[in-house]
Structure 1
Amino acid sequence: MRSVLIRGVLNLPLILLILLFVCPPGVRAAPPEMSIDGFYSLPQVIGTSPEAAVWSPDGRHVAFLWNDGGYPFRDVWLYDAGRDSLRRLTDLGGANARSETARGVTEVAWLASGDQLAFVFEGDLWTVAAASGQSNRLMSSEEREHSLRPAPGDDRFAFVRSGDLWVLDSDDARAAHRLVYTESGKVAVERYRWSPDGDRIAVVLADKRRVPVRDIHFYAEGEHRVHRVSRPLPGEETTRRRIGIVDAQEPNDALWLEHPALHPVYGIAWSHAGDRLLVDSSSFLLEERNVRTYRAQTGEATLHYRFLEPRQLNPAWSAAWAPGDRGLVILSDRGGRYHLYHQAEPTGELRRLTGGEWEVSSFEVDADGGSIYFAANKDHVADRQLYRVPFDGGDIENLSQRPGTHDAVYAPGFGRAVVRHSSDTRPPDLYLLATRQPGAAVPVTHSPLQTFDTHRWAQVRYIEFASHVDGTPLVARLSLPANYTPGHRYPLIVGSVYADTVRNQWGGRTSHPTWGLDQVLVARGYLLLNVNVRGSWGQGKSFRQGLLSGYGGIDIDDLESGLRHLVDEGLADPDRVGIWGSSYGGLMTLMSLFKKPGLYAAGIAGAPASNVWHAFPEQMWVMGDAVGDYGDRYRAQSAYYHSQGLQDPLMIIHGTADDVVFYADSLALAERMIDQGKSFELVSLPGVSHAWDVDSLSEARFAFNRMVRFFDRHLKPENAR
């Protein structure tokens, strides 16, 4: 019995006594109140998500980062897969154990001997003995170390500090040597990979020396501050890249490969024999994807795979070496959906490994077992389940089976996997899965607090409907109150709106911690709708391509289609519909209010991208290139130029230190709307970044409470108090 479960059992009599005292037999206890202050305070009722799982070299143990008490401070935990036992390996919290801001250990890696691990804590390098839990700080510096990768075969490991690549022997911290020296702040190691024999390291350098630098001015704590950032705009100089193969013992011995400097690199991989390096890249606007292989000794390049697509909007591709180095396995949407192909010879014929009206999101090659393991939405568009297909042909086997989102880390030999699973009804936890004889997964962690199951959480359904504009099939995630009554029309909130929001995982879209906000809104009597708008992954290339040059166009039409469907079905009250989103979702919110006045009774735009001239150059994948006669095209996609249409209540929330979407753009929009005689609310968060609901719990509480009050005021749900 694991320690986590033992603690719960020991506390059980006390819990029963408390329940009997508070709620005598025959009287049903009321579910806990759902509130922003309650959900965004510590400890969090959903617990702390286990992260960064890594297997020991012998495949017996799994190390990962976790906190079993619902606090953000993570320690290293160790799970023995053979004995089904779990223990905390480090205990570093001290006075910070219950802090809102301390994150604890941020990375962990097994060393090749298997008896110790390296980890990063407060930016410093440490090791810990797997048997005893004895920790040792190896290096301490003002700079922060990150990107740990152990060397194959011995207890060396590499890491990045201030953009430079270092190699360290865990037995002798004084012997650390800098392998790749860069110009700090301008050139940095972007990614790297050890060769199978541990003698060489392939590196990708990101060079920002030609990228424009901008100053972000803001006030925080009563003082004027300036953040200077490398921040290009559409049409300006972007990051250049350089790829090299470096001798792991001789810092000055490097082979630099011929590769287009302005092409982004999406992946590098050594062949199983270690004699060749794969580089997966494309032109900046994605219209030409190339997978090249390089001879490790000479740098001789071979173009193995090439695909031209002038309307590519999403580089969700990858590539790997096939078993026995018999060519490459390619993930590509060349056939209309993201599927796996085998290309045995350079520029040769492709053999399809998967196919169907679904898409593969990621894969790994079991070279010894001759199988491909992959994640896909094969069973439902919102799911990410685990599958296996024989490399030489055969049936696809579902390994995970349970609906939801599964993220697997496979053990050496692929006989086991530790899987982080989450669904609409359960927060993330780790499970052990046997891949040879798939069956019931064995729980490794239990993250939610004991009070989690006493709440009346929202019901989640998936609905399908057709676009009212062109008939395209659309899918949406619908959240309903736990006491939902058929035939009753509810106020509806569309959002948070963004691409890729239709996911069967706790909280839906997880890049923002809006799970608690969503639950509070539903408990107050709202329906919540997330639509898989055009441009989203999972429904094929033509569906994604529908967004081309279309920010604030077909995407907001898709949102309207979902709204119309719920009104037609008798679920939503057409006079009480709100909308909200952040960043691109803020753009869609503004465009929906500006271009469809009267459709929404209120809208909230967080950090809204109101001026696409100030977007990142990568947004040209959608907006189109900033060359030639592009002014009308960019104006059509910029909410700033459509504000005259505003008639309905609008709130804008923006952090003043945002270097992704400039706070100045919200001020410019505010000035324009003031000149136009418009009424709106502006909530400024001093010193807060683009992730305005992630920076701190206090800011999340403040902003989310403002949002709830705003929607209650304008949409008047029955349960608002």
Structure 2
Amino acid sequence: MKTWICLLLCLSTLSLRVSAQRLDSLTIEQIMSDPKWIGTSPSDPFWSPDGQKLYFSWNPEQAAEDSLYYITLPNHEPVKASPAERLQALAQRSGTYDRKFQNLVYSQQGQIYWLHIATHRLRQITHTAEVAYHPVFAFHEQKIVFQQGDNLFAWDTATGELSQLTLFVHAEKSGQASHLSPQAAFLEKDALENSVVLQQRKQRITEEKQAQQNLNSFRNLPDSIFIGSQRVAGLNISPDGRFITYQLVKEPRDVQRTIIPEYVTQSGYTETIPGRTKVGAPQPEMHMWIYDRLRDTTYEVDTHDMPGIHDKPDYLKDYPSEDSAWDAHPPFRQVIVNGPLWSPESPTDGSSHALVVVRSQDNKDRWIMEMHPETGKLTLIDRQRDEAWIAGPGIGWNYSMGNVGWVNDHICWFQSETTGYSHLYLYDLQTHQKRALTSGQYEVQSAILSRDAKSFYITTNAVEPGQTQFYRLDIASGKQTQLTHQEGGNRVELSPDEKWLAVLHSFSNHPWELFLQRNDPAARPEQITHLAESPLFRSYPWRAPEIITFTDRDGYRVYARLFRPKQPAPTHPGVLFVHGAGYLQDAMKWWSDYYFREYMFENLLADHGYTVMDVDYRGSAGYGRDWRTAIYRHMGGKDLDDEVDAARFMVDSLDVDAHHIGIWGGSYGGFMTLMALFTQPGVFKCGAALRSVTDWAHYNHGYTSNILNEPYTDSLAYKRSSPIYFAAGLQDHLLMCHGMEDTNVHFQDIVRLTEKLIELGKDNWELAVYPLEDHEFKDASSWTDEYKRIFRLFETNLK
């Protein structure tokens, strides 16, 4: 308590010291300085297993990094956790509960611990040099199963006996068919036929392997599972301990990876940062296998009979030869099997069902399947197909299951965009009936099942696209009860006993603070933290931007944030900010964790007489599947149309001069700025493109292949979406800024475009480079330099 009082006194003294300072006007140096001047917001709240402590990251001391703080239910005064408590709390957060939530197992610093929650009795299970992780309860909760290396081990909670459950061997099984090429197989056979010594050595190796197998049997070790050069991933055990599932991953060979030169180094030499692959690079092959311990046998999960496994993507119609080749020999599409997720054990026979989520590597299908572990066969529960790509809130990506779970031993739940918006569904494996729990033109952005399995707790944007609220959804009746009511953004962590809500709340011009509220729609939230806004930050009248809509050329209602100047500059200039992609939203009523600097710059622009808009163009988050996928096969198409229509709306409705409109953005926003200036000359007088993709064939696979397929299968999509092909259209003034150590959008992108502009004889552009910056700038001096250049660009060309 003394420490906390001293801290408050220090903060009070600091407040008095800066109270005389006021932000009568904004400067770029101020808004782009270390963001600690704004204040300190809490983040990432979570509860202790017994629900008596609420932890959160916070930095009231203005240290280099956040620390872990907590409050207790009896005492709501924040206390800084000790280093030891921080380690334990974070480890327990990632642990696994038993069915009744009475026990928790977790890994901390490579050792396994078992916590009895009610009594706080803690027992260390392992004391080994080799790291142990991923502990779960299995064998009808009589054993704790964990992973060390590539293998699973079981520890008996009654006897303390430790047993090994798997033994993966990176070698080929004797007699197993060779994976050599025909030429290599011929040479090996020829070598053996011509050397008795080689034949003897091969025989000796075979005998040694058999002797090892016999020794393992004598030592009561499991039989070896030979996996050759493949990698083991995703080890999982059924609740009864009979079935172990695992992924065998075959990495592609000779895949070229990028490198990023690092010029400013301590050594004085140019060094290199290892990079990623580019879109279209060969992807790992993944196959799920089952080890039946009862029958001592392994077999692969069979995906060949899944409905639609041969389905052809529509875009092949643009490539007649590939289209007809597919028809002649329909391939089995490559898939990734995620899971399994085991149901609660049946109260009658102790058996379990298993769910797997199968994703096609071409991104166009997601199958939720029941897996029959005795055979490896799959039965369809739900299939979602999209000729663009499968994604959205709760849906997940290629290597995740998304939001899927069990209500009881025969009813599962999941989220799907089948109606165009991500909603919550139940499926009964006995009746084969699917039931929608939510519906409407809004998104369920998160969902968790209550511990009594009678309700869901969901976060949605049902009130409006740019606002999130938290609800309790009764499964039997379908009734939703709104639990949070503060306007803006609400991120909620439910306590283990479900009696309390930890709420992070913010508004568009007020950063996040932490609140505590009883789980009652009539309860008033109590504010726990109060330091998100420093006195200096509060001294400026930050605008709460208007959320407006306009109608685009295709008749859609487009949402945007609007910053109006008190007095427009004489030329009535306007500026559009284009947010990044990856699936983002900016026309919202909460404080942006990512774009707070841009928000402050928008205020500065408005102070200088600019009308500023920030548009949720097609492709943005928050508006459902069709809005998200409108950019399929043409980035810089419908999304750019919305930005152009926003510029026309500014002219028609906001008293902006059509000859004095600028545009700027970073990453995808930088790409959009380039496309705007290259393909829509005259609409924007100038633009600033930051860390921009200039050629999508050089970006990563996971993001790009979703939207544009692959360069060698859909070259048309890449050519019409890449600014480098349209650089000849540049007529207006262009500023480009890029970090030279950018590991996301590589510096090579902007260098290639620069060469293209030089070859085209263009002279109305400039490039600013930042030798020590990655994709997300870190240093205040870089932010300041970049935004001084942007402001000068606008002042010079729009006034």
Alignment TM-score, normalising by the size of structure 1: 0.79
Equivalent residue letter for 1:75: S
Shift of 1:268: 5.5
Question: Which structure 2 residue ranges, 5 or more long, are not aligned?
Answer: 156-161, 171-228, 305-332, 346-350, 396-401
> Is the contact made by 1:70 and 1:448 (CA closer than 8 Å) also made in structure 2?
no
Partner of 1:67: 59
2:285 aligned with 1:240: yes
Q: Deviations over 1:272-303 (max 9, x none)?
A: 33934422232123322101233567755433
Partner of 1:224: 270
> Is the contact made by 2:105 and 2:136 (CA closer than 8 Å) also made in structure 1?
no
Equivalent residue letter for 1:494: F
Aligned ranges for residues 163-202 of structure 1 at < 5 Å? none
Of 47, 50, 75, which residue of structure 1 is paired with 2:43?
Answer: 50
Distance 1:486 1:403 in 2: 33
2:109 aligned with 1:109: no
**Structure 1 range deviating more: 59-68 or 383-392:** 59-68
Shift of 1:470: 1.4
Partner of 1:611: 695
* Gap change, CA 1:345 and 1:195, over 3 Å in 2: closer
2:207 aligned with 1:215: no
Shift of 1:126: 12
Distance 2:335 2:413 in 1: 21
2:28 aligned with 1:35: yes
Partner of 1:529: 613
> Is the contact made by 2:737 and 2:769 (CA closer than 8 Å) also made in structure 1?
yes
Partner of 2:797: 714
Partner of 1:284: 361
Shift of 1:413: 3.8
Aligned ranges for residues 379-458 of structure 1 at < 5 Å? 379-451=463-535, 452-458=537-543
* Gap change, CA 1:154 and 1:593, over 3 Å in 2: farther
Distance 1:590 1:636 in 2: 13
Shift of 1:614: 2.0
Q: Deviations over 1:586-616 (max 9, x none)?
A: 2211110011112112211122211122233
Aligned ranges for residues 271-670 of structure 1 at < 5 Å? 271-273=343-345, 275-295=352-372, 299=376, 301-312=378-389, 314-316=391-393, 317=395, 318-345=402-429, 348-451=432-535, 452-467=537-552, 469-480=553-564, 483=566, 489-496=572-579, 498=581, 500-504=584-588, 506-508=590-592, 510=594, 514-618=598-702, 619-626=704-711, 630-670=714-754
Q: Secondary structure at the match of 1:439?
A: coil
**Structure 1 range deviating more: 322-331 or 598-607:** 322-331
2:334 aligned with 1:270: no
Shift of 1:326: 3.3
Question: Which structure 1 residue ranges, 5 or more long, are not aligned?
Answer: 24-28, 93-102, 170-174, 717-721
Equivalent residue letter for 2:68: V
Q: Deviations over 1:114-152 (max 9, x none)?
A: 9999778xxx9999x9999xxx9x9999x9x99987879
Distance 2:495 2:759 in 1: 62
Of 680, 689, 699, which residue of structure 1 is paired with 2:782?
Answer: 699
Higher helix share: 2
Equivalent residue letter for 2:257: R
Shift of 1:584: 2.1
Partner of 1:682: 767
Distance 1:463 1:165 in 2: 56
* Gap change, CA 1:151 and 1:711, over 3 Å in 2: farther
> Is the contact made by 1:496 and 1:579 (CA closer than 8 Å) also made in structure 2?
no
Shift of 1:370: 0.6
Q: Deviations over 1:303-356 (max 9, x none)?
A: 322233323353541342342233221211111222112111279332111111
Q: Secondary structure at the match of 1:587?
A: helix
* Gap change, CA 1:406 and 1:140, over 3 Å in 2: farther
* Gap change, CA 1:304 and 1:548, over 3 Å in 2: same
* Gap change, CA 1:462 and 1:210, over 3 Å in 2: farther
Q: Secondary structure at the match of 2:421?
A: coil
Shift of 1:228: 3.6
**Structure 1 range deviating more: 237-246 or 393-402:** 237-246
User: Which protein shows a greater Rg?
Assistant: 2
Distance 1:579 1:585 in 2: 9
Q: How many residues align?
A: 675
Equivalent residue letter for 1:58: D
* Gap change, CA 1:328 and 1:450, over 3 Å in 2: same
Partner of 1:89: 81
Distance 1:149 1:572 in 2: 61
Shift of 1:208: 4.0
* Gap change, CA 1:517 and 1:239, over 3 Å in 2: farther
> Is the contact made by 1:337 and 1:359 (CA closer than 8 Å) also made in structure 2?
yes
Distance 2:433 2:510 in 1: 44
Equivalent residue letter for 1:284: Q
> Is the contact made by 1:2 and 1:87 (CA closer than 8 Å) also made in structure 2?
no
Equivalent residue letter for 1:109: Q
Shift of 1:190: 7.5
* Gap change, CA 1:256 and 1:658, over 3 Å in 2: farther
Partner of 1:99: none
> Is the contact made by 2:691 and 2:739 (CA closer than 8 Å) also made in structure 1?
yes
Distance 1:571 1:119 in 2: 61
2:68 aligned with 1:76: yes
**Structure 1 range deviating more: 528-537 or 445-454:** 445-454
* Gap change, CA 1:30 and 1:657, over 3 Å in 2: closer
Distance 1:657 1:460 in 2: 34
Q: Deviations over 1:512-554 (max 9, x none)?
A: 8644444444444434322111122332333333222221111
Equivalent residue letter for 1:305: D
> Is the contact made by 2:334 and 2:360 (CA closer than 8 Å) also made in structure 1?
yes
Distance 1:302 1:419 in 2: 40
Shift of 1:364: 1.2
Shift of 1:416: 2.5
Q: Secondary structure at the match of 1:610?
A: coil
> Is the contact made by 1:653 and 1:682 (CA closer than 8 Å) also made in structure 2?
yes
> Is the contact made by 1:48 and 1:66 (CA closer than 8 Å) also made in structure 2?
yes
Q: Secondary structure at the match of 1:427?
A: strand
Shift of 1:35: 3.4
Distance 1:411 1:289 in 2: 32
> Is the contact made by 1:182 and 1:188 (CA closer than 8 Å) also made in structure 2?
no
Shift of 1:711: 3.1
Q: Deviations over 1:226-245 (max 9, x none)?
A: 334441423x3123334467
Q: Secondary structure at the match of 1:379?
A: strand
**Structure 1 range deviating more: 365-374 or 257-266:** 257-266
> Is the contact made by 1:272 and 1:324 (CA closer than 8 Å) also made in structure 2?
yes
> Is the contact made by 1:108 and 1:148 (CA closer than 8 Å) also made in structure 2?
no
Shift of 1:507: 4.8
